[in-house]
Structure 1
Amino acid sequence: MNRFLFFLLMIQNVFSQDIPSNVQKLMKAYPNQIVGYKDNKLIFSDKSTLVYDDFKKKNNQELIENPDIEDQFRFVYSKIDKNSMPKEDAGRIRNEAFFKKIYGNSQTEVASKMVEIIWCPKLVNQKIKVTTVNGIDKIVKKLSAELDNHPEFQKYIQNIGGTFNWRKISGTNRLSMHSFGMTMDINVKKSNYWQWDCQCQNENATLSYRNQIPLKLVAIFEKYGFIWGGNWKHYDTMHFEYRPELLD
Protein backbone atom coordinates (compact mmCIF):
# COMPACT_ATOMS: atom_id res chain seq x y z
CA MET A 1 0.00 0.00 0.00
CA ASN A 2 1.49 3.36 -1.01
CA ARG A 3 1.72 6.26 1.43
CA PHE A 4 -0.97 8.33 -0.30
CA LEU A 5 -3.55 5.52 -0.13
CA PHE A 6 -2.63 4.84 3.50
CA PHE A 7 -3.13 8.55 4.29
CA LEU A 8 -6.58 8.54 2.65
CA LEU A 9 -7.62 5.46 4.61
CA MET A 10 -6.45 7.07 7.85
CA ILE A 11 -8.52 10.19 7.12
CA GLN A 12 -11.55 8.03 6.30
CA ASN A 13 -11.19 6.09 9.55
CA VAL A 14 -10.93 9.27 11.63
CA PHE A 15 -13.92 10.76 9.81
CA SER A 16 -16.01 7.63 10.41
CA GLN A 17 -15.11 7.61 14.10
CA ASP A 18 -16.48 11.14 14.46
CA ILE A 19 -19.86 10.14 13.01
CA PRO A 20 -22.21 8.01 15.16
CA SER A 21 -22.68 4.53 13.69
CA ASN A 22 -26.41 5.04 13.23
CA VAL A 23 -25.79 8.28 11.34
CA GLN A 24 -23.45 6.35 9.07
CA LYS A 25 -26.30 3.90 8.42
CA LEU A 26 -28.57 6.80 7.47
CA MET A 27 -25.96 8.25 5.13
CA LYS A 28 -25.58 4.86 3.46
CA ALA A 29 -29.36 4.35 3.12
CA TYR A 30 -30.11 7.88 1.80
CA PRO A 31 -26.93 8.97 0.01
CA ASN A 32 -28.57 11.52 -2.27
CA GLN A 33 -30.13 13.42 0.64
CA ILE A 34 -27.80 13.09 3.67
CA VAL A 35 -24.36 14.38 2.77
CA GLY A 36 -22.75 15.04 6.14
CA TYR A 37 -22.89 15.32 9.90
CA LYS A 38 -21.53 18.04 12.18
CA ASP A 39 -22.29 19.40 15.63
CA ASN A 40 -25.04 16.87 16.32
CA LYS A 41 -26.84 17.71 13.07
CA LEU A 42 -27.51 15.83 9.84
CA ILE A 43 -26.53 17.87 6.81
CA PHE A 44 -28.71 17.50 3.73
CA SER A 45 -27.89 18.07 0.08
CA ASP A 46 -29.75 21.41 0.08
CA LYS A 47 -27.43 22.52 2.95
CA SER A 48 -30.27 22.44 5.50
CA THR A 49 -29.79 20.57 8.78
CA LEU A 50 -31.77 18.60 11.35
CA VAL A 51 -30.80 17.93 14.96
CA TYR A 52 -29.89 14.28 15.41
CA ASP A 53 -30.18 13.86 19.19
CA ASP A 54 -32.17 16.13 21.52
CA PHE A 55 -30.78 14.25 24.58
CA LYS A 56 -34.23 14.04 26.19
CA LYS A 57 -35.42 11.02 28.13
CA LYS A 58 -38.79 9.85 26.83
CA ASN A 59 -41.38 7.28 27.75
CA ASN A 60 -42.92 5.06 25.08
CA GLN A 61 -45.71 7.50 24.27
CA GLU A 62 -43.27 10.41 23.93
CA LEU A 63 -41.08 8.31 21.65
CA ILE A 64 -44.02 7.76 19.34
CA GLU A 65 -45.33 11.34 19.43
CA ASN A 66 -42.16 13.44 19.60
CA PRO A 67 -39.04 11.50 18.63
CA ASP A 68 -35.76 12.91 17.43
CA ILE A 69 -33.83 11.14 14.66
CA GLU A 70 -31.66 9.24 17.13
CA ASP A 71 -34.81 7.81 18.75
CA GLN A 72 -35.59 5.96 15.52
CA PHE A 73 -32.83 3.55 16.53
CA ARG A 74 -34.01 3.19 20.14
CA PHE A 75 -35.16 -0.39 19.57
CA VAL A 76 -33.23 -2.92 17.49
CA TYR A 77 -35.16 -4.43 14.61
CA SER A 78 -34.71 -8.21 14.67
CA LYS A 79 -35.12 -10.47 11.65
CA ILE A 80 -35.28 -13.56 13.87
CA ASP A 81 -38.20 -15.77 12.88
CA LYS A 82 -40.97 -15.76 15.42
CA ASN A 83 -44.72 -15.93 15.73
CA SER A 84 -44.97 -14.54 19.24
CA MET A 85 -45.63 -11.10 20.68
CA PRO A 86 -42.73 -8.72 19.93
CA LYS A 87 -41.63 -6.82 23.01
CA GLU A 88 -40.87 -3.49 21.31
CA ASP A 89 -41.82 -1.31 18.33
CA ALA A 90 -38.57 -1.31 16.37
CA GLY A 91 -39.13 0.93 13.35
CA ARG A 92 -42.44 2.38 14.50
CA ILE A 93 -40.69 5.43 15.99
CA ARG A 94 -40.36 8.03 13.24
CA ASN A 95 -39.23 11.66 13.12
CA GLU A 96 -41.62 13.26 10.61
CA ALA A 97 -39.29 16.12 9.70
CA PHE A 98 -36.63 13.59 8.70
CA PHE A 99 -38.90 11.76 6.27
CA LYS A 100 -40.14 15.02 4.78
CA LYS A 101 -36.51 15.94 4.04
CA ILE A 102 -35.94 12.59 2.34
CA TYR A 103 -39.16 12.20 0.35
CA GLY A 104 -40.83 15.61 0.12
CA ASN A 105 -42.35 18.25 2.36
CA SER A 106 -45.84 18.19 0.85
CA GLN A 107 -48.23 15.92 -0.99
CA THR A 108 -47.42 17.70 -4.24
CA GLU A 109 -43.66 17.39 -3.77
CA VAL A 110 -43.86 13.69 -2.89
CA ALA A 111 -46.24 13.00 -5.79
CA SER A 112 -43.81 14.63 -8.24
CA LYS A 113 -41.31 11.87 -7.45
CA MET A 114 -43.72 8.95 -7.89
CA VAL A 115 -43.93 6.44 -10.72
CA GLU A 116 -46.42 3.70 -11.51
CA ILE A 117 -45.22 0.12 -11.77
CA ILE A 118 -46.91 -3.25 -12.31
CA TRP A 119 -46.78 -5.29 -9.11
CA CYS A 120 -46.09 -9.02 -9.69
CA PRO A 121 -47.17 -9.11 -13.36
CA LYS A 122 -47.70 -12.90 -13.43
CA LEU A 123 -49.40 -13.47 -10.07
CA VAL A 124 -51.15 -10.16 -9.37
CA ASN A 125 -50.76 -7.66 -12.26
CA GLN A 126 -51.76 -4.65 -10.15
CA LYS A 127 -50.70 -1.05 -10.77
CA ILE A 128 -49.12 0.64 -7.76
CA LYS A 129 -47.32 3.95 -7.19
CA VAL A 130 -43.93 4.15 -5.48
CA THR A 131 -41.29 6.83 -5.03
CA THR A 132 -38.20 7.11 -7.20
CA VAL A 133 -36.14 8.54 -4.29
CA ASN A 134 -32.85 6.65 -4.03
CA GLY A 135 -34.08 4.19 -6.65
CA ILE A 136 -36.79 2.69 -4.45
CA ASP A 137 -38.96 2.11 -7.54
CA LYS A 138 -36.21 -0.09 -8.99
CA ILE A 139 -35.88 -1.94 -5.69
CA VAL A 140 -39.63 -2.60 -5.60
CA LYS A 141 -39.46 -3.94 -9.17
CA LYS A 142 -36.77 -6.43 -8.08
CA LEU A 143 -38.86 -7.42 -5.05
CA SER A 144 -41.88 -7.84 -7.31
CA ALA A 145 -39.94 -10.01 -9.76
CA GLU A 146 -38.77 -12.34 -6.99
CA LEU A 147 -42.23 -12.66 -5.44
CA ASP A 148 -43.68 -13.40 -8.88
CA ASN A 149 -41.84 -16.74 -8.67
CA HIS A 150 -43.66 -17.74 -5.46
CA PRO A 151 -47.25 -18.72 -6.28
CA GLU A 152 -47.63 -20.00 -2.71
CA PHE A 153 -47.66 -16.35 -1.60
CA GLN A 154 -50.19 -15.13 -4.16
CA LYS A 155 -53.10 -14.83 -1.74
CA TYR A 156 -51.02 -12.60 0.54
CA ILE A 157 -49.51 -10.27 -2.06
CA GLN A 158 -52.63 -9.62 -4.13
CA ASN A 159 -55.14 -6.83 -3.53
CA ILE A 160 -52.44 -4.43 -2.34
CA GLY A 161 -54.09 -2.29 0.33
CA GLY A 162 -52.07 0.84 -0.31
CA THR A 163 -48.74 2.40 -1.24
CA PHE A 164 -48.87 6.18 -1.76
CA ASN A 165 -51.56 7.97 0.26
CA TRP A 166 -50.84 11.33 1.92
CA ARG A 167 -52.81 11.08 5.15
CA LYS A 168 -52.66 11.11 8.94
CA ILE A 169 -52.51 7.91 10.97
CA SER A 170 -56.00 7.19 12.27
CA GLY A 171 -56.61 8.84 15.65
CA THR A 172 -53.37 10.86 15.56
CA ASN A 173 -51.84 14.02 14.13
CA ARG A 174 -48.88 12.08 12.74
CA LEU A 175 -48.39 11.53 9.02
CA SER A 176 -48.64 7.94 7.87
CA MET A 177 -45.54 6.56 6.16
CA HIS A 178 -47.83 5.90 3.20
CA SER A 179 -47.57 9.65 2.65
CA PHE A 180 -44.07 9.14 1.26
CA GLY A 181 -44.61 6.34 -1.26
CA MET A 182 -42.09 3.95 0.32
CA THR A 183 -44.59 1.78 2.18
CA MET A 184 -46.83 -1.07 1.12
CA ASP A 185 -49.82 -2.79 2.70
CA ILE A 186 -50.35 -6.28 1.31
CA ASN A 187 -53.70 -8.11 1.29
CA VAL A 188 -55.77 -6.67 4.13
CA LYS A 189 -57.95 -9.80 4.29
CA LYS A 190 -54.91 -11.87 5.28
CA SER A 191 -53.61 -9.38 7.82
CA ASN A 192 -53.96 -8.36 11.45
CA TYR A 193 -53.72 -4.92 13.03
CA TRP A 194 -53.59 -4.29 16.75
CA GLN A 195 -56.32 -1.61 16.74
CA TRP A 196 -58.71 -3.87 14.84
CA ASP A 197 -58.06 -6.80 17.16
CA CYS A 198 -58.40 -4.88 20.44
CA GLN A 199 -61.07 -2.56 18.99
CA CYS A 200 -59.25 0.35 20.59
CA GLN A 201 -56.57 2.97 20.01
CA ASN A 202 -55.05 2.73 23.48
CA GLU A 203 -51.28 2.34 23.17
CA ASN A 204 -51.23 0.82 26.66
CA ALA A 205 -53.86 -1.82 25.96
CA THR A 206 -53.01 -5.46 26.64
CA LEU A 207 -52.61 -7.09 23.23
CA SER A 208 -52.62 -10.67 22.04
CA TYR A 209 -50.35 -11.09 19.02
CA ARG A 210 -51.98 -12.35 15.82
CA ASN A 211 -50.36 -13.05 12.46
CA GLN A 212 -51.27 -14.87 9.25
CA ILE A 213 -48.32 -13.76 7.08
CA PRO A 214 -45.69 -16.47 6.33
CA LEU A 215 -42.32 -15.53 7.74
CA LYS A 216 -40.61 -16.70 4.54
CA LEU A 217 -42.55 -13.98 2.73
CA VAL A 218 -41.43 -11.45 5.33
CA ALA A 219 -37.80 -12.49 4.80
CA ILE A 220 -38.04 -11.66 1.08
CA PHE A 221 -39.30 -8.15 1.83
CA GLU A 222 -36.51 -7.68 4.40
CA LYS A 223 -33.96 -8.78 1.79
CA TYR A 224 -34.87 -5.67 -0.20
CA GLY A 225 -34.73 -3.23 2.72
CA PHE A 226 -38.31 -3.36 4.00
CA ILE A 227 -39.11 -3.76 7.69
CA TRP A 228 -42.30 -5.56 8.71
CA GLY A 229 -45.06 -4.13 10.90
CA GLY A 230 -45.68 -7.61 12.25
CA ASN A 231 -42.40 -7.23 14.09
CA TRP A 232 -43.92 -4.57 16.35
CA LYS A 233 -45.59 -4.99 19.72
CA HIS A 234 -48.33 -2.79 18.22
CA TYR A 235 -48.46 -5.11 15.23
CA ASP A 236 -49.56 -4.26 11.69
CA THR A 237 -48.91 -7.44 9.74
CA MET A 238 -49.93 -6.10 6.33
CA HIS A 239 -47.40 -3.27 6.57
CA PHE A 240 -43.96 -3.17 4.93
CA GLU A 241 -41.84 -0.01 5.04
CA TYR A 242 -38.55 0.80 3.31
CA ARG A 243 -36.11 1.37 6.17
CA PRO A 244 -32.80 -0.25 5.17
CA GLU A 245 -30.91 1.62 7.89
CA LEU A 246 -32.65 -0.57 10.47
CA LEU A 247 -31.66 -3.80 8.70
CA ASP A 248 -27.97 -2.99 8.33
Structure 2
Amino acid sequence: MKLLSIFSVLLFFITTISAQEYPKGVQKLINAYPNFDITYDGTYIILKDGLKFIYDDRIKKFGELLLNKPSISDMFQSEYPKNVNNYIPPRNSDPGRIRNEDLMKAIYGSNSLEVQKNLVTITWCPKLVGSKIKITKINNVHLQLQKISEELDKHPELQKYLQGATSFNWRIIKGTNRLSTHSFGTSIDLNVKFSNYWQWDCKCTNEDVDLKYKNQLPKLIVKIFEKHGFIWGGKWYHYDTMHFEYRPELLI
Protein backbone atom coordinates (compact mmCIF):
# COMPACT_ATOMS: atom_id res chain seq x y z
CA MET A 1 0.00 0.00 0.00
CA LYS A 2 2.89 2.34 0.82
CA LEU A 3 4.49 1.68 -2.60
CA LEU A 4 1.15 2.32 -4.29
CA SER A 5 0.80 5.62 -2.43
CA ILE A 6 4.32 6.69 -3.42
CA PHE A 7 3.60 5.76 -7.04
CA SER A 8 0.36 7.81 -6.99
CA VAL A 9 2.20 10.84 -5.63
CA LEU A 10 4.92 10.53 -8.26
CA LEU A 11 2.35 10.11 -11.02
CA PHE A 12 0.49 13.21 -9.83
CA PHE A 13 3.75 15.18 -9.70
CA ILE A 14 4.73 14.13 -13.21
CA THR A 15 1.28 14.97 -14.58
CA THR A 16 1.36 18.36 -12.85
CA ILE A 17 4.76 19.21 -14.31
CA SER A 18 3.54 18.14 -17.75
CA ALA A 19 0.40 20.28 -17.45
CA GLN A 20 2.52 23.29 -16.54
CA GLU A 21 4.19 22.96 -19.93
CA TYR A 22 0.91 23.20 -21.82
CA PRO A 23 0.37 26.28 -24.03
CA LYS A 24 -1.42 29.07 -22.17
CA GLY A 25 -4.54 28.61 -24.28
CA VAL A 26 -4.76 24.95 -23.31
CA GLN A 27 -4.35 25.81 -19.64
CA LYS A 28 -7.13 28.38 -19.92
CA LEU A 29 -9.49 25.84 -21.49
CA ILE A 30 -8.72 23.32 -18.74
CA ASN A 31 -9.46 25.90 -16.04
CA ALA A 32 -12.56 27.28 -17.76
CA TYR A 33 -14.23 23.92 -18.49
CA PRO A 34 -13.28 21.54 -15.64
CA ASN A 35 -16.24 19.22 -16.28
CA PHE A 36 -14.71 18.11 -19.58
CA ASP A 37 -11.41 16.82 -18.09
CA ILE A 38 -9.46 18.36 -20.96
CA THR A 39 -5.99 16.98 -21.62
CA TYR A 40 -3.34 17.76 -24.22
CA ASP A 41 -0.86 15.38 -25.87
CA GLY A 42 1.28 17.99 -27.59
CA THR A 43 -0.85 18.06 -30.73
CA TYR A 44 -4.46 17.37 -29.79
CA ILE A 45 -6.91 18.71 -27.24
CA ILE A 46 -8.68 15.63 -25.84
CA LEU A 47 -12.06 15.72 -24.10
CA LYS A 48 -13.18 13.18 -21.51
CA ASP A 49 -15.26 11.28 -24.08
CA GLY A 50 -12.17 10.77 -26.24
CA LEU A 51 -12.94 13.39 -28.87
CA LYS A 52 -9.74 14.96 -30.20
CA PHE A 53 -9.09 18.32 -31.85
CA ILE A 54 -5.86 19.72 -33.26
CA TYR A 55 -4.86 22.60 -31.02
CA ASP A 56 -2.63 24.50 -33.45
CA ASP A 57 -2.67 23.80 -37.18
CA ARG A 58 0.30 26.20 -37.60
CA ILE A 59 -1.36 27.99 -40.51
CA LYS A 60 -1.13 31.79 -40.51
CA LYS A 61 -4.60 33.19 -41.06
CA PHE A 62 -6.16 36.60 -41.48
CA GLY A 63 -9.58 38.03 -42.25
CA GLU A 64 -12.28 35.62 -43.34
CA LEU A 65 -9.96 32.60 -43.36
CA LEU A 66 -9.31 33.17 -39.65
CA LEU A 67 -13.03 33.49 -38.97
CA ASN A 68 -14.07 30.52 -41.08
CA LYS A 69 -11.32 27.97 -40.38
CA PRO A 70 -9.70 28.74 -37.02
CA SER A 71 -7.78 26.16 -35.05
CA ILE A 72 -8.36 26.20 -31.31
CA SER A 73 -5.16 28.18 -30.71
CA ASP A 74 -6.48 30.91 -33.02
CA MET A 75 -9.20 31.67 -30.47
CA PHE A 76 -6.48 33.13 -28.26
CA GLN A 77 -4.81 35.19 -30.99
CA SER A 78 -6.11 38.48 -29.54
CA GLU A 79 -6.21 39.13 -25.81
CA TYR A 80 -9.63 40.13 -24.51
CA PRO A 81 -9.37 43.54 -22.74
CA LYS A 82 -11.13 43.11 -19.41
CA ASN A 83 -11.69 46.11 -17.12
CA VAL A 84 -10.46 48.64 -19.66
CA ASN A 85 -12.29 51.98 -19.54
CA ASN A 86 -13.33 53.78 -22.73
CA TYR A 87 -11.92 50.96 -24.84
CA ILE A 88 -12.09 51.39 -28.62
CA PRO A 89 -10.99 48.25 -30.50
CA PRO A 90 -8.12 48.70 -32.96
CA ARG A 91 -8.70 47.75 -36.57
CA ASN A 92 -9.61 44.08 -37.07
CA SER A 93 -9.14 43.24 -33.38
CA ASP A 94 -12.04 40.94 -32.47
CA PRO A 95 -11.06 39.05 -29.29
CA GLY A 96 -13.55 36.24 -28.82
CA ARG A 97 -15.14 36.55 -32.23
CA ILE A 98 -12.83 33.78 -33.40
CA ARG A 99 -14.38 30.42 -32.42
CA ASN A 100 -13.62 26.82 -33.27
CA GLU A 101 -17.07 25.54 -34.21
CA ASP A 102 -16.17 21.85 -33.88
CA LEU A 103 -15.14 22.40 -30.27
CA MET A 104 -18.30 24.37 -29.55
CA LYS A 105 -20.40 21.55 -31.02
CA ALA A 106 -18.55 18.95 -28.95
CA ILE A 107 -19.24 20.87 -25.77
CA TYR A 108 -22.78 22.16 -26.29
CA GLY A 109 -24.36 20.00 -29.01
CA SER A 110 -23.80 19.29 -32.70
CA ASN A 111 -27.32 20.21 -33.82
CA SER A 112 -30.38 22.09 -32.62
CA LEU A 113 -32.03 19.07 -30.97
CA GLU A 114 -28.89 18.16 -29.03
CA VAL A 115 -28.52 21.72 -27.78
CA GLN A 116 -32.18 21.99 -26.81
CA LYS A 117 -31.92 18.90 -24.57
CA ASN A 118 -29.74 20.96 -22.25
CA LEU A 119 -31.62 24.25 -22.33
CA VAL A 120 -33.37 25.60 -19.26
CA THR A 121 -35.70 28.57 -18.95
CA ILE A 122 -34.83 31.41 -16.60
CA THR A 123 -36.64 34.63 -15.79
CA TRP A 124 -34.55 37.52 -17.03
CA CYS A 125 -34.38 40.40 -14.52
CA PRO A 126 -37.63 39.51 -12.68
CA LYS A 127 -38.20 43.01 -11.26
CA LEU A 128 -37.20 45.15 -14.23
CA VAL A 129 -38.12 42.93 -17.20
CA GLY A 130 -39.60 39.55 -16.24
CA SER A 131 -39.20 37.87 -19.63
CA LYS A 132 -38.40 34.18 -20.14
CA ILE A 133 -35.22 33.17 -21.97
CA LYS A 134 -33.61 29.81 -22.70
CA ILE A 135 -29.96 29.14 -21.91
CA THR A 136 -27.80 26.02 -21.72
CA LYS A 137 -27.15 24.34 -18.39
CA ILE A 138 -23.85 22.87 -19.63
CA ASN A 139 -20.92 24.40 -17.75
CA ASN A 140 -23.56 26.00 -15.49
CA VAL A 141 -24.01 28.81 -17.98
CA HIS A 142 -27.61 29.21 -16.77
CA LEU A 143 -26.43 29.76 -13.19
CA GLN A 144 -23.94 32.41 -14.30
CA LEU A 145 -26.63 34.21 -16.28
CA GLN A 146 -28.97 34.08 -13.28
CA LYS A 147 -26.28 35.79 -11.19
CA ILE A 148 -25.99 38.48 -13.85
CA SER A 149 -29.77 38.87 -13.92
CA GLU A 150 -29.90 39.28 -10.13
CA GLU A 151 -27.21 41.97 -10.15
CA LEU A 152 -28.68 43.92 -13.04
CA ASP A 153 -32.12 43.76 -11.41
CA LYS A 154 -30.77 46.06 -8.67
CA HIS A 155 -30.23 48.89 -11.17
CA PRO A 156 -33.52 50.40 -12.39
CA GLU A 157 -31.54 53.02 -14.32
CA LEU A 158 -30.50 50.19 -16.70
CA GLN A 159 -34.02 48.91 -17.40
CA LYS A 160 -34.37 50.22 -20.96
CA TYR A 161 -31.18 48.46 -22.05
CA LEU A 162 -32.24 45.11 -20.57
CA GLN A 163 -35.62 44.80 -22.26
CA GLY A 164 -36.20 42.70 -25.36
CA ALA A 165 -33.45 40.24 -24.49
CA THR A 166 -33.11 37.16 -26.73
CA SER A 167 -31.03 34.03 -26.28
CA PHE A 168 -31.20 30.58 -27.93
CA ASN A 169 -31.67 30.57 -31.70
CA TRP A 170 -30.05 27.95 -33.93
CA ARG A 171 -28.99 30.11 -36.88
CA ILE A 172 -26.23 31.12 -39.27
CA ILE A 173 -24.58 34.54 -38.94
CA LYS A 174 -25.75 36.77 -41.78
CA GLY A 175 -23.37 36.76 -44.76
CA THR A 176 -21.47 33.67 -43.53
CA ASN A 177 -21.67 29.91 -43.18
CA ARG A 178 -20.77 30.12 -39.48
CA LEU A 179 -23.16 29.29 -36.66
CA SER A 180 -24.00 32.07 -34.23
CA THR A 181 -23.16 31.25 -30.60
CA HIS A 182 -26.88 31.75 -29.96
CA SER A 183 -27.16 28.33 -31.60
CA PHE A 184 -25.45 26.77 -28.58
CA GLY A 185 -27.55 28.52 -25.94
CA THR A 186 -24.51 30.36 -24.58
CA SER A 187 -25.36 33.92 -25.64
CA ILE A 188 -27.78 36.73 -24.99
CA ASP A 189 -28.58 39.88 -26.95
CA LEU A 190 -29.95 42.94 -25.17
CA ASN A 191 -32.33 45.63 -26.43
CA VAL A 192 -31.65 46.32 -30.12
CA LYS A 193 -33.08 49.84 -29.72
CA PHE A 194 -29.97 50.81 -27.77
CA SER A 195 -27.48 48.66 -29.65
CA ASN A 196 -25.02 49.12 -32.47
CA TYR A 197 -23.94 46.47 -34.96
CA TRP A 198 -21.30 46.96 -37.62
CA GLN A 199 -23.33 45.34 -40.42
CA TRP A 200 -26.27 47.66 -39.72
CA ASP A 201 -24.03 50.72 -39.94
CA CYS A 202 -22.07 49.81 -43.06
CA LYS A 203 -25.10 48.07 -44.63
CA CYS A 204 -22.70 45.35 -45.73
CA THR A 205 -21.01 42.10 -44.68
CA ASN A 206 -17.55 43.11 -45.93
CA GLU A 207 -14.98 42.26 -43.24
CA ASP A 208 -12.50 44.80 -44.71
CA VAL A 209 -14.81 47.78 -44.34
CA ASP A 210 -13.65 50.92 -42.52
CA LEU A 211 -15.75 51.30 -39.38
CA LYS A 212 -16.33 54.11 -36.92
CA TYR A 213 -16.91 52.58 -33.51
CA LYS A 214 -20.33 53.14 -31.90
CA ASN A 215 -21.77 52.14 -28.53
CA GLN A 216 -24.68 53.16 -26.30
CA LEU A 217 -24.41 50.47 -23.60
CA PRO A 218 -23.37 51.57 -20.08
CA LYS A 219 -20.08 50.21 -18.73
CA LEU A 220 -21.79 48.78 -15.65
CA ILE A 221 -23.68 46.21 -17.74
CA VAL A 222 -20.45 45.06 -19.36
CA LYS A 223 -18.66 44.85 -16.02
CA ILE A 224 -21.37 42.64 -14.50
CA PHE A 225 -21.41 40.27 -17.49
CA GLU A 226 -17.62 39.94 -17.53
CA LYS A 227 -17.59 39.23 -13.80
CA HIS A 228 -19.53 36.05 -14.52
CA GLY A 229 -17.68 34.73 -17.56
CA PHE A 230 -19.40 36.51 -20.47
CA ILE A 231 -17.46 38.54 -23.03
CA TRP A 232 -18.96 41.53 -24.86
CA GLY A 233 -19.21 42.09 -28.61
CA GLY A 234 -18.62 45.78 -28.01
CA LYS A 235 -14.92 45.01 -27.61
CA TRP A 236 -14.65 43.96 -31.24
CA TYR A 237 -13.63 46.15 -34.16
CA HIS A 238 -16.61 44.53 -35.90
CA TYR A 239 -18.74 45.69 -32.98
CA ASP A 240 -21.92 43.97 -31.82
CA THR A 241 -22.84 45.88 -28.68
CA MET A 242 -26.04 44.00 -27.87
CA HIS A 243 -24.16 40.68 -27.75
CA PHE A 244 -22.75 38.78 -24.77
CA GLU A 245 -21.49 35.21 -24.86
CA TYR A 246 -20.12 32.78 -22.28
CA ARG A 247 -16.37 32.48 -22.90
CA PRO A 248 -14.65 32.18 -19.50
CA GLU A 249 -11.42 30.98 -21.11
CA LEU A 250 -10.86 34.53 -22.39
CA LEU A 251 -11.39 36.13 -18.97
CA ILE A 252 -9.04 33.92 -16.94
Deviates more, 1:172-181 or 1:78-87: 78-87
One-letter identity of the residue aligned with 2:186: M
Would the alpha carbon gap of residues 105 and 83 (structure 1) be closer, same or farther in structure 2, given more than 3 Å must change? Answer: same
> Contact 1:34–1:42 at 8 Å: present in 2 too?
no
> Contact 1:156–1:190 at 8 Å: present in 2 too?
yes
Deviates more, 1:229-238 or 1:138-147: 138-147
Match of 1:103 among 108, 116, 124: 108
Alignment of 1:181-196 (within 5 A): 181-196=185-200
Partner of 1:113: 118
> Contact 2:232–2:245 at 8 Å: present in 1 too?
yes
Q: How far did 1:6 drift?
A: 8.2
Please give the secondary structure, in 2, of the residue aligned with 1:90: coil
**Per-residue displacement from partner, 1:156-214 (whole Å, max 9, x unpaired)?**
11111x21000100111111110000100000100000000111111001101100001
Alignment of 1:196-207 (within 5 A): 196-207=200-211
Partner of 1:210: 214
Please give the secondary structure, in 1, of the residue aligned with 2:45: strand
> Contact 2:29–2:38 at 8 Å: present in 1 too?
no
Q: How many residues align?
A: 245
> Contact 2:88–2:235 at 8 Å: present in 1 too?
no
Q: Which runs of 5+ in 2 are unaligned?
A: none
Q: How far did 1:74 drift?
A: 0.4
TM-score by length of 2: 0.92
Partner of 1:133: 138
**Per-residue displacement from partner, 1:3-24 (whole Å, max 9, x unpaired)?**
9798577435412223212111
**Per-residue displacement from partner, 1:116-152 (whole Å, max 9, x unpaired)?**
0101101110100000001111111111111111111
2:91 matches 1:91: no
> Contact 2:167–2:182 at 8 Å: present in 1 too?
yes
Partner of 1:174: 178
Structure-2 separation of matches of 1:32 and 1:209: 38
Match of 2:160 among 155, 168, 173: 155
Root mean square deviation, CA, Å: 1.7
Structure-1 separation of matches of 2:198 and 2:123: 30
